[in-house]
A and B are shown apart, each in its own frame.
Chain A
Amino acid sequence: MRRLLLLIPFLFLISVVAFVIIQLPPGDFVDTYVRNLEAQGGTVNAAQTAALRARYGLDEPMWLQYWIWMSNLLQGDFGNSFLFDRPVADVLAERVPRTVALAVASMTVTWLIAIPVGIFSALRKYSVGDHVATFLSFVGVAVPPFLLALVGMYLVFDRTGFLITGLYSPEFRSEPWSPAKVGDLLKNTWLPIAVLAVTGAAGTIRVLRSSLLDELKKLYVTTARAKGLPEHKVILKYPVRIAINPLISTIGWMLPAMVGGEVVVSKVLNLPTTGPVLLESILAQDMYLTGAIVLILSALTIIGTLLSDILLAAADPRIRYQ
């Protein structure tokens, strides 16, 4: 409970820092807007710029802009995104669930791959299988995900003529939901999920392998064996349970890491998730949208950390609340 209460000032602090950082570079959204118009060939005169600035409230001092933002936020209003000219909440309502879904899906696949392989690697240390797994996971750690995405996209296009891009193929984009559309979604999303999972799994295999190796040497394992427990029980019930602690404790970081690592993959694979919007909004100095995304990401991290602490305590009875 105390930790929950501590969250509030912490989030407040984050919001101040986020807001200040967004405002640091010279210029504001109106400059970006004017530049874009000029790039298209239009011109904007001084009176028009002044009117725009007043309309967006950008002629107010920074503390006042923050105060307006914050007081609206507390009433559940994230403000309007300058960039999209729509409520920030609407933009986020489209993107955040999609991003979380992508993160959760690829995390699940990560674990589905990493845990069995990690256990196998540790149990059959220095066997051929272990060497193969070790080699592959080093490759997985070393290859940047966007490259993997590009190669995957190229191979599929070259072999089948199907371009994996976006969440749906163009012909399904404005269709109502149907089994065919779900199939199309799968056809387009398996690659990003696989790419994120493979790169995630590589590191996880290494972590699991080394922590499990430490545990296997311990006396309680010998004791369990001596007691005559079946081998799968010896392994899964005790050492594995301890060895996966590092995985559980990093759940909290996983969400933001996914969102961050996903930016480039999403760019490559043309996915409408949070990452590319965050990048775009920062570049356009769309402070309300950027602020909201940073705030939400921070909140997710904090909540994730809290969650992993709770899970950790549940999974490992040695860990107690203070």
Chain B
Amino acid sequence: MSSKSAKRRNRRIVGGVVAAVVVGGVALAVVNRDDGGGDAQPAAAENITPSARGFLEPPALADRVSAGELPPIDERIPSEPFVVGPGVLLEEEHLDWEDGRYGGTLEFAAMGASGFVNIVGTTVLRSPGQTTEESAPNVVSGFEVDDDYTTFSFTLRDGLRWSDGEPVTTEDVRFTLEDVYGDPEADRPAPSWLYTAGDPSKSLANLEVHDELSFTLTFDESYGQFVADLNSWIPSYAELIKPAHYLKQFHAAHADATELAALVEESGRGDWQTLLDYRDVPHWEVGEPRALGMPTLNAWVLDESGENLTRYVRNPYFWHVDASGHQLPYIDEIVVNRVVDSDALTNAMLAGQVSLASGGEVALNNMPVLKQNAERSGFRVFTTGSFNNPLQLFLNRDYEWTEAGSQWQAVISDPQQRFHRAIAAAIDDEAINDAVYFGLYGDLDPSWRSFDPAQAGALLDELGMTLGSNGMRTYPDGSPFSLGITYPVGSSDVNPVAELLRSQLAEVGIRVELTSLEESLFNQRKETNQVMASLMINDGPGWASGISEDYLPNHKGPWAPEQWQYFLSRGERGRPLEPAMQEFFELHTSRKQVPPQSDEGVRRWEELVGWFKENHAFIPLTGAQVTPTIADVRLRNLPKEGSPVNLDVYIGSPGLWFDQD
């Protein structure tokens, strides 16, 4: 929006608000019942003649095609498109795929501009759901890796085009690796996953371009984890393949000096490096105003980005098709309405202003009120597993490590892990599940469960943490002990869980002090190693397939933050590694050599899980999460009730369609 129209609008708002004063009293009378839900247009009888290649031109684009603004569908789709169908986007047992029909608008509400659209899976390779094993070529049409996982060969899809119609070629890859990451002038360090073994202190991927469509990436050492990264929506395609034809106008090595100077001047960004950084929008921020005009390979392209809403429209060049000839996505538009906080988001859901909400946006505690309003507002509620572990308790092994004679260090670094074991034995996961999650969360895996308060007491006694006169335990030297659990405010279940945890630990004589902090304050305390223990969720279910690795010591709740610093800085900063942590980092590094879902990868992962259990890196408080998703009743191709990962709802959204019947 130009500032001029903004000003005009604001002036009108002033007028409007003043007028509101006058009519405010009667306004209630004008309030009428709005029809909630998506305003999908009925496309009941799809009457589209197939093209020569057998594709169906989306009606939303037909006018632009007949006006000559867009080439017909046959020219927009690669010679070998990616074909979706049963078991492609999600495993068959979790989704009954039906080829859909065109049309409709998905409405979302979000606090940021991008909404969930930033995770819609446009990855280099594609496996169903959150797995990484199948690795079917996605953006590319051919992919091969050699036996020692050092050489990865790719062929781009012939005829694959950016959303503005320009072809995607190896020049886009070369530009990304050499002119953006590789050019010291551009001052844009590469993301970690493009370094050997994901380690920025090792060498960057070496690119060899063979022709317009094929290229190889080689690493100095085995890097099987790279296969998982290519499948993951976390790095996405955009960190490897950038639209060179668009970005070159902001790059000094390619642009005309005067034109570039004018662009820099106009943008007010100081220098071309900053401008390039600004215009090369990371995929997390696809909805920001600066992403307008940036070509993409996603299913939807940003069309409007204001402070009230973001609108995306279908990418005419999207390269997924279904067996009956539809070009995905089925749904023409996505509108993300901006809300100020999560309560406003819940309100919007209840009022039926949202077609789909999942993940962290919907809390299980809200189930009753969601169910209550479901029929009235035209949505249904179903539950799935989560991409996140439930809340975990993290005990910080590095807290007070520099303080001589720290009693915390005395108990936390007990070689037999008795303190960790005692805490784990004091936690009654079933009671927490019943009290906070309606008993809907899963049962804790028996190998993780050790609930036995008597055992907890015995372990603490052994450790010298005996009961004092007030019935609470002290440190071994007799000084008062309390376990400080700090956690960021966030989801609505964290406070009740923390309170339950406090009373359960009190049962075995451990005094707990709870501190709930605003997230940024929590992070500050975490950075300065002031967190003794914390409560947080992490991406557990995404670890085995290599999609996420936030089990690392300082990623969610800090459990060994200073030793992580030591590992990262190769011994320059932080705390020298304890023998157990030495072992942890060896397991973590060796795991990266092979693909996580190869036989060897699975074996190494199990070893790492064994280490977690033995060393209580995190202490689970309940079994697996179950989270609600709310969806417009007309939406099809959604995962089934009970499918494993809530995020698949969003990631597979190009396959969603509205059934009007």
Contact = CB atoms under 8 A, between A and B. Distances in A.
Q: Which of A26, A51, A55 has the most C-beta atoms of chain B within 10 angstroms of its own C-beta?
A: A55
B234 A41 contact: yes
A42 B18 contact: no
Contacts of A170: 107, 309, 335, 337, 353
Contact of B14 (A93, A97, A153): A97
Nearest to B278: A85
B344 A165 contact: yes
Contacts of B376: 161
A85 B290 contact: yes
A105 B19 CA distance: 9
A173 interface: yes
A163 B10 contact: no
Interface string A148-192: 000001001100111101111111011001000011011101100
Given A93-B10, A186-B16, A270 B32 contact: no
A177 B18 contact: no
Interface stretch (B66-74, B79-87, B519-527): B519-527
Contacts of B17: 98, 101-102, 104-105, 185, 189, 193
Nearest to B284: A40
B264 to A, nearest CB: 14
B24 interface: yes
Interface stretch (A5-13, A31-39, A250-258, A314-322): A31-39
B471 interface: no
Given A31-B523, A55-B277, A185-B16, A42 B340 contact: no
Contacts of A105: 17-18, 20-21
Interface string B323-344: 0000000000001011111011
Given A163-B347, A170-B337, A194 B31 contact: no
A169 B34 contact: yes
Nearest to A182: B16
B16 A32 contact: no
B524 A26 contact: yes
A266 B107 CA distance: 23
B268 interface: yes
A86 interface: yes
Contacts of B27: 186-187, 190
A37 B235 CA distance: 11
Interface residues of A, number: 75
B187 A174 contact: no
Interface string B193-222: 100000010000000000000000000000
B361 to A, nearest CB: 14
A285 B18 contact: no
A255 to B, nearest CB: 15
Contacts of B192: 43, 45
Contacts of A59: none
Contacts of A87: 268
Given A272-B307, A276-B340, A194 B200 contact: no
B32 A182 contact: no
Given A27-B527, A45-B192, A174 B278 contact: no
B442 interface: no
Nearest to B554: A38
B289 interface: yes
A94 interface: yes
Given A26-B528, A41-B234, A97-B11, A109 B21 contact: yes
B513 interface: no
Given A35-B523, A266-B340, A272-B340, A42 B284 contact: yes
Interface in B310-358: 311, 335, 337-341, 343-344, 347-348, 350-351, 353
B191 A48 contact: yes
B21 A187 contact: no
B48 interface: no
A47 interface: yes
Contacts of B274: 55
Given A170-B353, A190-B27, A284-B520, A93 B3 contact: yes
Given A182-B16, A193-B20, A51 B34 contact: no
Contact of A41 (B10, B528, B550): B550
B351 A157 contact: yes
Contacts of A101: 13-14, 17-18
B308 A166 contact: yes
B305 to A, nearest CB: 10
Contacts of B14: 97-98, 100-101
Interface in A271-320: 271-272, 276, 283-285
A267 B200 CA distance: 42
A108 interface: yes
Interface string A198-233: 000000000000000000000000000000000000
B551 to A, nearest CB: 13
22 contacts: A25-B524, A26-B528, A32-B523, A40-B284, A48-B189, A87-B268, A93-B7, A101-B13, A163-B353, A165-B347, A166-B337, A166-B338, A169-B34, A170-B107, A170-B335, A173-B308, A174-B308, A186-B23, A186-B27, A268-B344, A270-B340, A276-B340
Interface of A: 25-27, 31-32, 35, 37-38, 40-48, 50-51, 54-55, 77, 80, 85-87, 90, 93-94, 97-98, 100-102, 104-105, 108-109, 112, 153, 156-157, 160-163, 165-171, 173-174, 177, 182-183, 185-187, 189-190, 193-194, 266-268, 270-272, 276, 283-285
* Nearest 3 pairs of A and B residues by beta carbon: A163-B351, A47-B189, A190-B24
